[in-house]
Amino acid sequence: MTPPPSPARAAAAAPGPTPSTFAERARSAMGWLHTAHFLSSAPKLEHLPPVGLPEIAFVGRSNAGKSTAINTLTQHKRLAFASKTPGRTQHINLFGVGKGQVDDAVLADLPGYGYAAVPREAKLRWQRVMGNYLMTRESLAGVVLMVDPRLGLTELDEVLLDVIRPRVEEGLNFLVLLTKADKLSRAEATKALSIARLQAGGGEVKLFSALKRQGVDDAAELLWRWTHADSGNAGAAAPAA
């Protein structure tokens, strides 16, 4: 595998959204995400390469729509693999992103958690792996937590929040995506947003529907800003969900 370029070279080589209208920034961010491609896969933290680029981690319970969200944002049908047996995908998968064939960021797909059919030993092992990754990965620029709003934040989601809260308080970007939002009525969506914002511990919360493409542009533009905060071309803030 060809070593990734330095962050400075990558940022200079990758034209991104300009601080004009939100629609233009979102369109450019979606084009940027469409460049996503597989980099590597590792069963343990120590096997992950030190990529040296801003990294966005996608986490969530099994069946929360994590793989679907990644595939929708990158506009690839099977970039993130959704196992037929939820909870059985037990690798951290890294995807490079960057225009002009020069990666300037990495998306990290972490295994889904909380599926009952997975043996307890495997659950505990992956809790340790994910905890270590989220607490110690130096290149981590942000975390996206997928939550099914019909269930809300579960006990395991709260455990994850406790793990990353110190880093969020130090400035780590954090977003809760309420997936499958198309299954909610307007009143249910409003209530789910209000509750999640109280629980998010300083992170942002947005409704997201792959089917209706709700929140897709918002999330894409936000991921661009997270990974290009020092490039001088991050653009203005996106409107709230």
pLDDT at 102: 93
pLDDT at 7: 45
91-129 b/e with 16+ CB inside 10 Å = b? bbbbbbbbbeebbbbbbbbbbbbbbeebeeeebeebbeb
Query: Where are the domains positioned within the chain?
Result: 44-227
Residue with tokens 């914002």: 197
pLDDT digits (tens, 9 = 90+) for 95-130: 999 988 899 999 999 988 766 566 666 667 767 778
Task: Using the predicted structure, report yes or no on whether residue 236 has a pLDDT greater than 70.
Answer: no
pLDDT digits (tens, 9 = 90+) for 15-42: 444 557 989 999 999 999 999 999 998 8
pLDDT digits (tens, 9 = 90+) for 153-195: 988 888 889 889 999 999 999 999 999 999 999 999 999 999 9
The radius of gyration of the chain from alpha carbons, rounded to an integer in Å, stands at 17
Q: What is the pTM of this model?
A: 0.84
Q: Which of 87, 51, 47 is nearest to 67 (CA)?
A: 87
Q: Cα-Cα-Cα-Cα dihedral of 161, 149, 125, 163, to 10°?
A: 0
pLDDT at 45: 78
pLDDT at 226: 96
The SS3 assignment for 42 reads: strand
DSSP 216: H
Instruction: Please give the mean pLDDT across all residues of the chain.
Output: 83
pLDDT band at 150 (very low <50, low <70, confident <90, very high): very high
Task: Using the predicted structure, report yes or no on whether residue 85 has a pLDDT greater than 60.
Answer: no
Please state the rounded mean pLDDT for residues 190-206. Answer: 92
What is the CATH topology of the domain spanning 44-227? Rossmann fold (3.40.50)
pLDDT at 224: 96
Contact 136, 123 (CB under 8 A): no
Task: Using the predicted structure, report yes or no on whether residue 237 has a pLDDT greater than 70.
Answer: no
